Chains A and B, each alone.
Chain A
């Protein structure tokens, strides 16, 4: 059973507090969307989970093993894989070689013929068979995104984090990526998708995490989160006011009005401030 446990994760860059105690867990093959405004800390969270940067506090356990102090390659071997927001292929290596790296790097025994047939089936799935001997740098942007997903199939981790898989992708490729997500999820893997494309996120995910200024301000089913005042405030800025005060992280109440009583006139500061303080705490 897959279990990812993130507890009270903190990350500071100098004076900048980017992750302010993020706590959540993934149980089993969940399909999770992770959203939040630009600069919210989504990529930083991914980097901490994958071992690329060390947290300033908190712990991460994957399937019972503590991974927050491990090197990225060790985290990958324990079973967490990720893609990059800006595609990072091995550009002057062929498509096939890109796929072989994660398959062979893990160590242990692997039969060359098995690796080859696995890579072939991955390429078939991505509709990229004819490109297998091309250098990765010769691929189009969308094909590069697909190849990055293909590398993850070869790594075959339990938890997959996709950082902006839909950015700059044509609808036809989008279909392949949807199919990819459903297939990996269907194989019993947990997936966390980071995206700004709300349509895709809401239609795909069973559960939504919302990160805002390093705080996890919501965690729940998409339609509940959609109506969460704190989320609305984070996305729509100052339009929502004091009514957002009662929403603390994790607790999403669906009876809240979709939009708080947006006061168009002058807001009496004496009224608003106590509630806002509870929200900030």
Chain B
């Protein structure tokens, strides 16, 4: 097998392994490991889409977690406030749709629900079980969350069109912070720090290949997130190999030169924003339904730095490397929680792991600018280039010497 196929072959093996993993792994900590996997896939989507935005296109956005939050809160609010009822409640705002009613529940904030009940619950109490209301489908919330991420991505993309480097980073950071502050402040609607509860990804269980899983089973969520990751990686691969990938990299390298050569830099800048923010929003929406609750803390800068660090350690200019980096680091951070003893001194790893992680990040930035995994891939795919050049150089030298 030629060396340049090694990374692809390794990728296929990893995907195959992860595809069967839930069925071959049987240890006692099964649910815990599955949970780490799902979270790792979630971060892998964020890190790889962020690497497309910043590593390929050079748009260093620190608002990526903000878009993740937009996806999560869009579906959260959608599922929390909208219901379908066959009868009018006459208490809520409601719109007839066919022979059903779209009920908009009134926000009651975080006050005790035993004292104040929202309009729908009052109506349900009055009906006393005679009427069944249906919640909104989770998949529709996820789709809407993804689209909303794209809408905000378009807006932010337009606003940062003329901003470069540090200014773009600060602008997007400001955007994410404003979003977080707004969600924290709007307690009435978002329930602020108390958190917004969401129905589970598969609230009523699901049957796959004749096997029925209830909502506490990890397997359906595992595959949902895994497939979303594969979908995102597939789209990113396709984009990176097409004209799009070439043009956004030219945009990163020198946008004036790219424009002078006919690259529609405005279109590519906006496109790359919309595409990558939609991926972040989709990941956020799915993760929110998997976890079942979202709080503005998910949007903290710390979370963003985690994604940045994962992409940087993997290799920011290679989204596959960024995804692998994210998965490895998520596992490392989780599994290194176990404290240990050296010569009677207990190292509390729940705290120290972050220090080690920080040191790894610093060393990577100092000694391997394109991460730890991307150079490995390059070694196989680009190894022949140096040999070619050397061969050509030697041939030229010989020709020069014989003259």
- A residues lining the B interface (CB < 8 Å): 50-52, 71-73, 76-77, 81-82, 84, 88-93, 97, 100-102, 104-107, 130-131, 133-134, 138, 151, 155
* Contact partners of B258 in chain A: CB under 8 A: 73, 90, 101, 105
Partner of B260, one of A50, A93, A134: A50
Given contacts A130-B389, A131-B389, contact A90 B250 (CB under 8 A): yes
A76 touches B388 (CB 8 A): no
B257 touches A90 (CB 8 A): yes
B392 on interface, CB distance cutoff 8 Å: yes
* Contact partners of B259 in chain A: CB under 8 A: 51-52, 71-73, 76
* Contact partners of B262 in chain A: CB under 8 A: 73, 76-77, 102, 105-106, 155
* Contact partners of B19 in chain A: CB under 8 A: none
Partner of B243, one of A51, A73, A90, A105: A105
Q: List 16 A-B contacts (CB under 8 A).
A: A73-B262, A76-B261, A89-B257, A91-B254, A92-B253, A100-B246, A101-B258, A102-B262, A105-B258, A105-B261, A105-B263, A131-B389, A133-B385, A133-B388, A134-B389, A151-B261
B260 touches A76 (CB 8 A): yes
A81 touches B253 (CB 8 A): no
Partner of B266, one of A71, A81, A92: A71
B217 on interface, CB distance cutoff 8 Å: no
- Tell me the complex Cα distance, A90–B392, Å: 23
Interface residues of B in 226-261 (CB under 8 A from A): 243, 246-247, 249-250, 253-254, 256-261
Chain B residues bordering chain A, tally (CB within 8 A): 26
* Contact partners of B257 in chain A: CB under 8 A: 84, 88-90
Given contacts A52-B260, A102-B262, contact A93 B249 (CB under 8 A): yes
A56 to chain B, nearest CB (A): 20
* Contact partners of B243 in chain A: CB under 8 A: 104-105
- Tell me the complex Cα distance, A73–B264, Å: 6
Closest to B260 in A: A72
- Tell me the complex Cα distance, A72–B255, Å: 11
- Tell me the complex Cα distance, A104–B244, Å: 10
* Contact partners of A101 in chain B: CB under 8 A: 246-247, 250, 258, 261, 263
- B residues lining the A interface (CB < 8 Å): 243, 246-247, 249-250, 253-254, 256-266, 317, 382, 384-385, 388-389, 391-392
* Contact partners of B247 in chain A: CB under 8 A: 101, 104-105
A184 to chain B, nearest CB (A): 16
- Tell me the complex Cα distance, A82–B263, Å: 14
A93 touches B250 (CB 8 A): yes
A93 touches B253 (CB 8 A): yes
- Tell me the complex Cα distance, A107–B244, Å: 11
Partner of B249, one of A82, A89, A90: A90
* Contact partners of A92 in chain B: CB under 8 A: 249, 253, 317
A97 touches B249 (CB 8 A): yes
- Tell me the complex Cα distance, A123–B143, Å: 47
A153 to chain B, nearest CB (A): 11
- Tell me the complex Cα distance, A71–B259, Å: 8
B253 touches A52 (CB 8 A): no
Given contacts A130-B392, A134-B389, contact A91 B253 (CB under 8 A): yes
* Contact partners of A104 in chain B: CB under 8 A: 243, 246-247
- Tell me the complex Cα distance, A274–B248, Å: 58
B165 to chain A, nearest CB (A): 16
**Which of B254, B266, B384, B391: most chain A Cβ within 10 A?**
B254
* Contact partners of B256 in chain A: CB under 8 A: 52, 72, 88
A127 to chain B, nearest CB (A): 10
* Contact partners of A93 in chain B: CB under 8 A: 246, 249-250, 253
Given contacts A82-B260, A101-B261, contact A89 B254 (CB under 8 A): yes
- Tell me the complex Cα distance, A50–B264, Å: 14
A132 to chain B, nearest CB (A): 9
* Contact partners of A134 in chain B: CB under 8 A: 385, 389
* Contact partners of B246 in chain A: CB under 8 A: 93, 97, 100-101, 104
* Contact partners of A133 in chain B: CB under 8 A: 382, 384-385, 388
A130 touches B261 (CB 8 A): no
B377 to chain A, nearest CB (A): 15
Closest to B268 in A: A105
* Contact partners of A91 in chain B: CB under 8 A: 253-254
Closest to A75 in B: B260
A53 to chain B, nearest CB (A): 10
Partner of A90, one of B253, B265, B391: B253
Please provide the 8 A-B residue pairs with the shortest distance between their CB atoms, ordered closest to farther: A130-B392, A90-B253, A72-B259, A102-B261, A76-B262, A88-B257, A105-B263, A105-B262
**Which of B259, B260, B382: most chain A Cβ within 10 A?**
B260
B263 touches A88 (CB 8 A): no
- Tell me the complex Cα distance, A165–B33, Å: 61
- Tell me the complex Cα distance, A92–B243, Å: 17
A200 to chain B, nearest CB (A): 23
A105 touches B264 (CB 8 A): yes
* Contact partners of B249 in chain A: CB under 8 A: 90, 92-93, 97
**With A71-B259, A76-B260 already in contact, 18 other A-B pairs whose C-beta atoms are closer than 8 Å:** A50-B260, A73-B263, A73-B264, A73-B265, A77-B262, A81-B261, A84-B260, A88-B256, A90-B258, A91-B253, A93-B253, A105-B250, A130-B388, A131-B392, A133-B385, A133-B388, A134-B389, A155-B261
Partner of A88, one of B254, B317, B392: B254
**Which of B261, B317, B384: most chain A Cβ within 10 A?**
B261
- Tell me the complex Cα distance, A153–B212, Å: 62
A173 to chain B, nearest CB (A): 14
- Tell me the complex Cα distance, A106–B259, Å: 11
- Tell me the complex Cα distance, A62–B260, Å: 15
- Tell me the complex Cα distance, A102–B317, Å: 22
- Tell me the complex Cα distance, A51–B263, Å: 13
* Contact partners of B265 in chain A: CB under 8 A: 73
A125 to chain B, nearest CB (A): 17
- Tell me the complex Cα distance, A89–B260, Å: 11
